[in-house]
Structure formats: C-alpha cells, structure tokens
Chain A
Amino acid sequence: MIPGAVKDFDEFVRARSDALLRYGYVLAGNSEDAADLAQEALARLGDAWPRVRNKHDPEGYVRTIMVRLHIKHWRSRRREDLVAAVPERGEFDRYGDADLWAELQELPRKQRAVLVLLYYEDLPDQEIAEILGISRGTVRSQAARALDKLRIRRESPVLREAR
C-alpha cells in the first residue's frame, strides 16, 4: 500500500469513528458491541482501502459491513467476553423513550436492522434491500412486522414509496 493511502485511511478512521459508533450503538444496543462492529468493519475496509476509496463511498461500505456482521451474530471476542461484573451506571433512563428502546432490543436482528436503516439511516427500501441482500418486498414485510410489534402507526406510505 502506498504511504499516502495509509494516511488517508487513518484520517478516515479518525474522522468517522464517532458517527460509526453511534450507528453501531443503535444497531447493537450497547457500546461494547458497537465498538466491536465498527472496529471489525473498519479493519476490513482498511484491507480493501485501495480498491474502495476510489470506486465507492467508503462510509457506505463500512456501514454495510457493520449491519451484515450484526445480523450474522458476529462477535470477535465470543466466549471470552461475557460481561460478568456489571457495575451499574448510576443513572435511570436517559433515553427519549426507554420502553421503546427496550422493546427494540427484543426484535429479531434482521427486523431491527431494517428499522435502523429505514429510520436512523433514512434509506429508501431499494437500497436497504441491496445492503441486506434481500428483496424489496421482504424489506417492507420485515418493517411492517417490526412496527406492529412496537405498536407504531405507519404514516405517509405514499411518501416513502416515492423516494
């Protein structure tokens, strides 16, 4: 790899870490797994950097790897990493809606990922279908099922369709 490319990649990691961690957190529900997903996806991006940085959008590449890894239940630390001693953060809920956040954790990974891509990443159905390697119909049915479970009213279906 040429030195300029390495510097490029390091800069990308520095600049985008926080945003990727936030995305990982919404996907995985905790900061350990969020960091794990982001690091692994960035490491893979680093290996593919010369190829990716010119042709594609590297951020999109990383985010796609992250969501795919997450759906595959991927964990690097595996069995060594059971959280055992869990000293509690001295706080009660700080989320917008703690119940809704808790219910989101209960969803199957794929359904949750679809919601994150739809509502956090604000992506159109077609792009989500490509990222997850499923059909557009499946994206819609997974989203509908997840929203039903969370008791969320679906608004503006026409608008979403039009994007």
Chain B
Amino acid sequence: MRSEEDLVRTMRAAAEQAGGHDLAYGVARRRRARRTRQRMQVLLAAVAVVAVAGGTTAVLSGEGRRAEPAVTVSPPLIKAAGELWPQAIVKVPMRNAKGWKMHPVTSLSATEVLLAPESGFEKGGRLEAYDSASGKTRVLGDVPSPRKGYYLQQFAVGRQYVAWFGETPRNSDKWADFWIIPREGGKARRVGEVAADVESIGLTDDSLVWSVKEGGVHRMPLTGGAPERLPGTDGLHLASWPWANARAGQSPISNVTRVVNLETGRSSDVAIPDGVEMMQCNAQWCVGRRHGLAVVQRVNGSGRRTLPATLLPMDPWWLVGDRYAIFRVYDPKNSRSPGPIAVLYDLATGTMAGLSERTPGVRGGIVRRGSPASSPPNVVIWDADQEYDEVCRNEACTVKARGGGKEYTVLNLAAVPG
C-alpha cells in the first residue's frame, strides 16, 4: 500500500517538471482574438439588420459566420529520407538475441547504431551495436546495476569509449555514478560517483565531464579521482562537449541565451528575437518557436528565417545531430494522399527529408530521436510497419498506433553526406 505522503511527494515532484513557458504573450493574443471575435459578431449583427431592411432574405448568424483564417498553404513536396540517402537507412530488430527490447540511442559510425535496453532497468542489462554493413549485432558488454532502484539515465559517445550515468531516481538523495566501456567492447568500468543532480554528460579523450541541474560543469579523469568544477561554468549546462549553454530560466526548455566553447573559452550571446520561446542551440544553429512557428537562425542571429506553418515545432527537443532539426508535417487539409509524418530539416542548407509515412487521413504518427542520449543524438527512429488511427472525443483527438513492433527504421545521420 502507498501512503498519502507518497501522493503528495509525487505531485510535487511532477510539478517541478512543468516547462517554463512565457505566458504573457499567449494571454495577450487570446484576449485580442476574443475582442476581434466579439467585434465580428457585432459587425455581422449589423449587416443582418441592413440586409433585412433591404428586403432580402439573407440569413446570417453571428455564430456560424465566424471569420476563420484562410489557410491556403499546402504541404511542401518532400522526398523521403530513404530516397535521398538509401545508405543512411538501417533496419534494426527491436529485440535482441535474449528477447530483450532494445532501443537505438545514437550512432557510433556511419554503419553502427548503439542499442540500449529500452526503458531503463533495475537488474542490469547490456549494450549492443548493430552494424548495417554486416547485418549483425555485437555485444559491447554488460551494464551492471550497482544499487537497488538503479536506472540508466543517459549515454555519451567519445572517440574511445561509450559513457553513461545512472541514478536511483526514486530515492530522495542526490546521487549518480559514471561508467565507461571501450567502443570495441569489453568490461564496463566505474569512473566514479557523485552526490549531485547530474543532468548531462560528455567525454573528452581523458576525462568524463558532466553538468548538474542547477548549472555548472565538472570533470573527473577517466582513471578516477576527485571531481573538479571547471572554472567560469556557473549556470552553464553541457550541450555536447565542448559546447555548453546558459539559459534564461531554470527549466530545460527556457531560451538558450549564451553558447560557450569550454575548450577555448569563447562565448557568444544568442540573439533572441522578441516573442521567441524554447530557443535551443548547438554550436552554430538555434531553433526556437514564435507564434507557434519554427524560427531558425545562427547563434548571432544571422540567417534568421521563420519556417512555414506546414512544418510545426511540436516539442522543444527538436535538435538532432550537429546541424539538423525534426519538425512535424502539418497538413491543414488532412488530405488522404500519402506524405511524411515529420521532416528532417538541414539547418545549414534548408534541405528537407521526409521521415516515416502517415496513414492517409490521420494527422499524426510517431517519429522519435534516439534516446537516452546526452547530446542531440545522431539517429531518428520510427516503426515503418505501424499504422495510426485518430481517436477523437469531445473535440480533443489523439493518435493511436497499431501493428508494427518488429523492427525499427533508423536514419543514421552519420551516413548522410554532409
């Protein structure tokens, strides 16, 4: 049995996950829309009076003639990723030889995809890599579970090692440990443990680096030893070594305000246009959302463009690889013609590639980034055998998947010619 305290604690912990939206803009917009609507109704009522006075039989109703925005955009013609880059598409079995469900995390090379047990685990597991050249899976090694209630959190890939950190998320104490395993496989080695709320990790050639939830980047030699806080990293969050970001607020989806190279110490402020939220940046590019549309720009604000409403930023974790973003394809006419569920957008060139295929007539589907990776992962995943149904109740709709479950279709960005 659980206690009432468990319920209170869970609700309070969950509340902390609430994203830091800036509500002021949305509130003002809604109030404007409401006033416009009221004016429209008054206007229509006036027209009706005139019409009746003129002796015609026009029937007008304020409710029925509400001005709808004229949506005339149609989805762009987008080539499928598999058509553009057949060498980058890999089919990976969802279960390993032992029957465990595995999940693509990121890629190790142009042919190898790193696979981890899908949903975290408490009793240990193992890391594998699928090689598209040989069509075979190899085992990197076992992942030990050093504590009760231990869950793997995130992975990072370096030149020689794959690293991860684990936590005991249901305990209230702050604790995490760091592990590495050689890329070619071998025995996992614990680098060290810390009493901290770790949020992200990275690998250099000789150290493991991490940032903590409240900001600040630390390192520890791969051979073990005392953790050391990198000077001048107050408030910084590791993005992808050597890059770190400062954010406007506590929430991980607050605008990134500064991009710092921790190796050179060079720091650039992000030019954030008014009204942009959830601005997320890598070394060169930033993607944010304004009025529901995606805004893409370089860190310094140059090359800024607002993408059409046919490409919707739905979730702030839109960055993938080092120069791509994923957007959902929004088809206002809900046409029954085939098309992609989402697109991969090349931030540098604007090139687009279609990801997965929608079930005709259904506005949705599932396309995901690799996970759980500390840096924007190098793979995008979907289940090509899945079909979708749109289930609507009380004017709110959700998309439900059916079928599939055998293999992932993985787009390996390391195999995309750049």
Contact surface of A with B, Cβ cutoff 8 Å: 10, 13-14, 17-18, 20-26, 31, 34-35, 38-40, 42-43, 46-47, 73, 75-76, 78-80, 82-98, 100-101, 104, 115-116, 119-120, 147, 150-155
B58: interface (CB < 8 Å): no
Shortest Cβ distance from residue B271 to the other chain A in the assembled complex, whole angstroms = 23
Measured CB to CB, the nearest residue on chain A to B396 is A75
Shortest CB distance B329–A (Å): 8
User: Does the CB pair B366–A86 fall under 8 Å?
Assistant: yes
Q: Is B328 interfacial (CB 8 A cutoff)? A: yes
Do A35 and B367 touch (CB < 8 A)?
Answer: no
B2 and A89 within 8 A (CB): no
B207 to chain A, nearest CB (A): 21
Stretch at the interface among B76-84, B315-323, B407-415: B315-323
Chain B's closest residue to A45 (CB) is B27
In the complex with contacts A40-B30, A95-B13, A153-B2 CB distance below 8 A: yes
For the complex, what is the distance from the CA of A117 to the CA of B130, rounded to whole Å?
Answer: 49
Residues of chain B with a CB closer than 8 A to A104's CB: 10-11
Q: Which of A73, A86, A100 contacts B394 (CB 8 A)?
A: A73
Cα(A39)–Cα(B19), bound, Å: 13
Among A13, A21, A84, A119, contact of B19 (Cβ-Cβ < 8 Å): A21
**Interchain CB contact (< 8 A) of A92 among B26, B151, B355:** B151
Which positions 247-280 of chain B face chain A at CB distance < 8 Å?
253
Complex alpha-carbon distance, A153 and B367, angstroms: 40
Q: Is the CB of B371 within 8 A of A88?
A: yes
Q: Complex formed: what's the CA distance from A36 to B301 in Å?
A: 29
- Do B14 and A25 touch across chains, with their CB atoms under 8 A apart? yes
**CB<8 Å pairs between A and B, sample of 28:** A21-B23, A22-B15, A42-B23, A42-B27, A43-B27, A46-B27, A82-B364, A82-B390, A82-B398, A85-B367, A86-B366, A87-B326, A88-B317, A90-B374, A91-B372, A92-B120, A92-B372, A93-B120, A94-B13, A95-B10, A95-B14, A96-B6, A97-B10, A97-B170, A98-B170, A100-B2, A104-B11, A152-B3
Flag if B10 contacts A13 (CB, 8 Å): no
Indicate the member of A22, A38, A96, A155 with the most B CB atoms within 10 Å.
Answer: A96
Given contacts A20-B23, A31-B21, A101-B14, contact A92 B363 (CB under 8 A): no
> Ordered nearest first, which 3 A-B pairs have the shortest CB separation?
A85-B342, A96-B13, A25-B18
Residues of A within 8 A of B328 (CB): 83-85
**Nearest-CB distance from B362 to chain A (Å)?**
9
In angstroms, how far is the closest chain B Cβ from the Cβ of A54? 20
B interface, size bucket: 35 or more
Residue of A nearest to B393 (CB): A73
**In the complex, chain A residues whose CB is within 8 Å of the CB of B12:** 96, 120
Q: In the complex where A25-B15, A35-B23, A80-B330 touch, is A75 in contact with B10 (Cβ < 8 A)?
A: no
Most buried by A among B10, B315, B365: B10
Of all chain A residues, the one with the shortest Cβ separation from B155 is A90
Tell yes or no: B392 within 8 A of A by CB: yes
Q: CB distance A75 to B395 under 8 Å?
A: yes
- B81 → chain A closest CB, angstroms: 13
- Residues of B near A153 (CB, < 8 A) are 1-4
Of residues 228 through 264 on chain B, the ones whose CB sits less than 8 Å from some CB of chain A are 253
Which residue of chain A lies nearest to B23 when distances are taken between CB atoms in the complex?
A: A17
Point out the residues of chain B lying under 8 angstroms from A87, CB to CB.
315, 317-318, 320, 326, 367-369
Contacts of A22 in B (CB 8 A): 15-16, 18
Closest to A17 in B: B23
How far, in angstroms, from A39 to B32 measured CA to CA in the complex?
13
Q: In the complex, what residues of B have CB within 8 A of residue A73's CB?
A: 393-396
Nearest A-chain residue to B22, judged by Cβ: A17
User: 12 extra interchain contacts, Cβ-Cβ under 8 A, other than A13-B23, A43-B27, A85-B365?
Assistant: A22-B16, A26-B11, A26-B15, A31-B18, A35-B19, A85-B342, A87-B315, A91-B371, A95-B13, A101-B10, A147-B4, A147-B7
* B7 and A93 within 8 A (CB): no
A84 and B363 form a contact (CB under 8 A): yes
In the complex, how many angstroms separate the beta carbon of A35 from the nearest chain B beta carbon?
Answer: 4
Q: Do A90 and B399 have beta carbons less than 8 Å apart? A: no
The answer to whether B8 and A120 have CB atoms under 8 Å apart is: yes
Which residues of the other chain, B, contact A20 by a CB distance below 8 angstroms?
Answer: 23
A115 touches B26 (CB 8 A): no
Q: Name A29's closest neighbour in chain B (CB-CB).
A: B14
Query: Roughly how many angstroms separate A142 CA and B6 CA in the complex, as a whole number?
Result: 19
Contacts of B305 in A (CB 8 A): none
Q: Which residue of B lies closest to A96 (CB)?
A: B13
Given the complex, which residues of A lie within 8 Å of B119, measured CB to CB? 92
Residues of B within 8 A of A154 (CB): 4
**For the complex, what is the distance from the CA of A154 to the CA of B5, rounded to whole Å?**
10
Residue of A nearest to B309 (CB): A80
Contact A82 B18 (CB under 8 A): no
Contacts of A93 in B (CB 8 A): 120, 151, 169-170
Expressed in whole angstroms, the Cα–Cα distance for A47 and B9 within the complex equals 35
Chain B 365-409 per-residue mask, 1 if CB under 8 angstroms from chain A, else 0: 111110111100100000000000010111111110000000000
Q: B66 on the interface (CB 8 Å rule)?
A: no
Chain B residue nearest to A41 in the complex (CB): B27
